Amino acid sequence: MSGGIPTLSTDRPLRAIGGAIYRSGTLCLLIAAAAFAAAAALVKSLGGRVPVLEIVLIRSAITCSSSYAAAYTAEVRPLLGEIQHWPLLALRGLTGAAAMFVFYVTLSILPLAECISLLYVNPVFCALLGWVVLREGFGWRTIMGCTTSICGVLAIAEPPFLIGEAEWTRRRLVGVLLGLSGAFLASCAYITIRVIGERAPSLTIAFWFHLVALITSAVPLVLGIPQPAVWPEVRAWLALLSIGACSFVAQLLLNRGFQLQRAALASALSFSQVVWGALLGAVFYHEHITLPSAIGAFLIATGVLAVASDKKPATEQCVDAVPEAECSVAVQTEGSCLPAGAPLVQLEPRRAASTDAVI
C-alpha cells in the first residue's frame, strides 16, 4: 500500500479540451476570430501612448523570434530561401508590413468593427489583382460579390449624399481610405505569396514578413520619424506582449481551421471577427455601430462569401481569411492556384498558401 498522497491530474482535461478544439475547424476559426479582434482592440488601447511603429516593432520581434524557432525546429535550410527568390520574398514582407502599419493607424480613427470590416474587402482586391497579375478569370458570383462589397464600403463611409453634410467628417473619409489601402496592401501580399508558390517554404515566407516588418519599423524609430520611441509603462508592456500572444494563437488556429473547413464556410466563420470587434468596441471604447455601418458590414460579408463560393478555380483561391485585424490571413486552397499555361509554380491541392497571416 502506498503511503503517498494521491494527486489529481489537471492536464488531462486541458489536453482533452485542447484536442477537441484542434479537431474542430469551426471552433478553431471562431476562437481565431476572437483572438484577432482582441489583438486589434489591444492595439487600439495603446493609441497615443505608444507610437504605431513601435507597436509594429515589438509585435514583429515576438513573431519573428517564434518563426525563427519554428523554422529551426523544422530544419528549414536556408532560412531566407534561395537568393534568386529574395526580391519576391522582400516584396511580400514590404506589402505585409505596410498593410499592418496602415491598419494600426486606421484603428486610431474608426471604430474597431468598421476597421475590421474594411480589411475584409481584401478578397475583392485579390480577385481583381488575380485577373490583372495572374491572368485569372472569374465568374458572375465574383462580379456580384465585388459590387456588393463596394456598396458595403460606401455604406460604412457614410458619404454626404447618404446621410447629409451634418454627420459627415473628413476624418472619417481619411479613415475609410486608410482602411481600403490596408485591404489593398494585404491583397498585394497574398498575390505575392501566390506568385512565390512553392519556390520557398511557408516558414521562410512567414519569416521574411516578420523580419522586414521588424527592420522597416526599427529604422524610422531610431531616426525619430515620425515619432521617437518611448519606454512603455507596465500596462502598455502587458498589452504589447498580449498582442504578440493573441496574434500567434490566432494565426495557429486560423491555419488549422482552413485546413479542416471549406474555403467559403471558413471565410464566413472568420467574419465573426467583425462581431467580436463590435462587442469589444462597445464594452471597452463605448463605440456605437450606426445603422449604415451595420448594413455596410453585412454587405461586405455577403460580397466576400459570393467571391468565396465562385466555382471558378481561379477566383476560389482569392479568398483570404482575414488579416488579423491586424490582421493577417492564411488561405485554404481547393485546387490549382494558377490558370493553365501560366508561367508560375502551382500550389498543391488542399495546401495552405502560407503558414502565417498576411498581416
pLDDT for position 307: 84
Q: Is pLDDT of 315 > 60?
A: no
Burial of 207 (0-12, 13-18, 19+ CB in 10 A): buried
- As a whole number of angstroms, the distance between CA 154 and CA 152 comes to 5
Residue 242 to residues 45, 212, 235, Cα–Cα distance (Å): 12, 21, 10
Give the pLDDT mean for 139-166: 81
pLDDT for position 162: 64
Give the pLDDT mean for 257-285: 85
Element holding 138 (H helix, E strand): none
What confidence category does residue 325 fall into, taking pLDDT thresholds of 50, 70 and 90? very low
- Does the bond joining 78 to the residue before it have cis omega, within 30 degrees of 0? yes
* The three grid cell numbers given for residue 207, joined into one nine-digit string: 519569416
Element holding 213 (H helix, E strand): helix 202-223
What confidence category does residue 54 fall into, taking pLDDT thresholds of 50, 70 and 90? very high
Q: Is pLDDT of 6 > 90?
A: no
- As a whole number of angstroms, the distance between CA 1 and CA 158 comes to 76
- As a whole number of angstroms, the distance between CA 279 and CA 111 comes to 11
pLDDT for position 314: 40
* The three grid cell numbers given for residue 250, joined into one nine-digit string: 490566432
| Model pTM score | 0.81
Q: Is pLDDT of 329 > 70?
A: no
pLDDT for position 81: 93
* Number of Cβ within a 10 Å radius of residue 80: 17
Give the pLDDT mean for 265-291: 88
DSSP string for 113-134: HHHHHHHTTHHHHHHHHHHHHS
